[in-house]
């Protein structure tokens, strides 16, 4: 997957080194439940490291939304599925601060 840059954002594949940003996003997500049917995200250091590795391994499905200034992930984009009409369902999780 290639990198997409806008004036303020970089959208790129995750790396295992993104685990701290993933943790910040997970803690925000879990403290601001918007969808009660959404499965919980891990928030511990160990589990967030594992989750960041998983997101990096699935780089064809998950992308990090990062601030251009510091390159820290503030969100996640996911390609959920394509239906029979070739319509893509895109999911996102953005830190509530942004």
Instruction: Please check the confidence at residue 33 and state whether its pLDDT lies above 80.
Output: no
Domains annotated on the chain, with CATH = 4-94 (3.40.630.30)
Q: How confident is the model at residue 8 (pLDDT cuts 50, 70, 90)?
A: very high
Mean pLDDT of the chain, nearest integer? 90
Q: What is the pLDDT of residue 10?
A: 95
DSSP E strands, 1-72: 4-5, 9-13, 62-67
Q: What is the pLDDT of residue 38?
A: 79
Beginning with the edge strand found earlier in the chain, give each strand of the sheet holding 73-82 in spatial order. 4-5, 9-13, 62-67, 73-82, 88-94
The predicted-structure confidence for 40-67, as pLDDT tens digits, reads as follows 889 999 999 999 999 999 888 999 999 9
Range 37-42 average pLDDT: 84
């Amino acid at each position: 997957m290639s990198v997409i840059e806008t004036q303020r954002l970089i959208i790129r594949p995750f790396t295992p080194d993104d685990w701290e940003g993933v943790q910040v996003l997970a803690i925000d997500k879990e403290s601001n439940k918007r969808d009660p049917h959404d499965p919980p995200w891990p928030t511990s250091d160990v589990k967030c490291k594992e989750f960041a590795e998983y997101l990096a391994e699935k780089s064809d499905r998950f992308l990090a939304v990062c601030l251009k200034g510091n390159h820290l992930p503030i969100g996640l984009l996911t390609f959920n599925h394509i239906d029979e009409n070739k319509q893509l369902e895109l999911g996102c999780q953005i830190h509530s601060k942004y």
